[in-house]
Amino acid sequence: QGARRLRLDAELREALREAPGRCLPYAVIQGAVRSAKETLSSQFVEGCHGVVQRLTLQEHKMVWNRTTHLWNDCEKIIHQRTNTAPFDLVPPEDGADVSVRVLKPLEAAELSLETVYEKFHPSIQSFTDVIGHYISGERPKGIQETEQMLKVGTMLTGVGELVLDNNTIKLQPPKQGMQYYLSSLDFDDLLQKQESSVRLWKILTVVFGLATCAVLFFILRKQYRHQREKRRLKQMQDEFRQAQERLVREGSTEGGETLKNACAVCLSNTKACVFLECGHVCSCNECYRALPEPKKCPICRQAISRVVPLYNS
């Protein structure tokens, strides 16, 4: 949008002389293609001449996808050659003595090449070839031969850097990193096309930005819930440990003596007998009578030869 639009007339040279360094960093110029020296002739179409010629051999084949179990179309460029000839942009009407030399046309985006010849050569396959193709997973379809040309007389819109070198006006790629264009569209259509592309990228940016925000929100919420659950479990563990410590303190202060003299079997009655010959005092009379025969000490598992009653005073 900020490119300066200029007409291809006698005033163009004066505008460049007045510009700093005789250079316009980004300008728009429109004119017809004219060969500066010799033209390129089509190899297949008689009487077709141009300044850019691109010959392409492209292989078409079917490739077996092991994931989807389907045959997919695949294209591969076998050979491509591009020939160029020096050319100028001149006014479409005759009589105006002004021209713009176009430099490095292959670096331009939107370079409009017209397809002047196209032919598809299908591959001839025998029965053994078909079997081999099914085994290898590649089934060739044929070779497509294409010739594209930028014809003499084509109207081009050039967007780039305009420089006045001696008495020659040159259009070349901009040095500030801006895009270089050579298109058959006029400037308004080219600008609308770029705006549509920018609009699409803006929409995709907004959509992916919202999706990213949503994913980050769910991740952060999940992390918050995890941390909250972790803190709740830690708080419960702390409360349980404090309750245990409180019970231990209460038991040691209030019923320590009772727990010390309690029967090791039932933990409710008081110890009331001494087992001999081991000498352990660990059971009440009821638990001693409930021991299976032969009776053994619950502490050391030695045989009990006799029992001496224990009296606590």
pTM beyond 0.75: the answer is no
pLDDT higher than threshold 80 for residue 313: no
Share the mean pLDDT of the chain. Answer: 86
Q: Which of 2-11, 48-57, 264-273 has the highest mean pLDDT?
A: 48-57
Q: Which residue has the tokens 């031969």?
A: 145
Q: Where are the domains of the chain?
A: 4-193, 258-312
- Please say whether the beta carbons of 182 and 112 come within 8 A: yes
Q: Which residue has the higher pLDDT, 240 or 272?
A: 272
3-state secondary structure of 40: strand
In this prediction, residue 251 has a pLDDT band, given cuts at 50, 70 and 90, of low
- What is the H or E stretch that residue 242 is in? helix 187-254
Beta strands in 36-137 (DSSP E): 40-41, 49-65, 70-84, 87-90, 100-102, 114-122
pLDDT digits (tens, 9 = 90+) for 187-200: 888 888 888 888 88
Burial class of 115 by CB neighbour count within 10 A (0 to 12, 13 to 18, 19+): exposed
Q: So what's the pLDDT on residue 242?
A: 83
Phi-psi region of 43 (alpha: psi -120 to 50; beta: other; left: phi over 0): alpha
Segment of 107-111, 130-134, 222-226 carrying the highest mean pLDDT: 222-226
- 266-312 residue pLDDT tens: 777 888 888 888 888 888 888 888 888 888 888 888 888 888 887 76
pLDDT on residue 149: 94
What proportion of the chain, given as a percentage, has pLDDT over 70? 94
Whose CA is closest to 97, among 88, 105, 106?
88
Task: Report residue 124 CA to chain centroid gap.
Answer: 41
Q: How far apart are CA 263 and CA 299, in angstroms?
A: 12
pLDDT at 220: 94
Determine the pLDDT at residue 252. 56
- Cβ neighbours, 10 Å, residue 152: 17
Q: Assess contact for 309 and 288: CB atoms under 8 A.
A: no
Residue 93 DSSP SS3: coil
For the 258-312 domain, the top CATH level (class) is: alpha beta
- Per-residue pLDDT at 13: 85
Which residue type, as a one-letter code, is found at position 183? S
Higher-pLDDT residue of 255 and 172 is 172
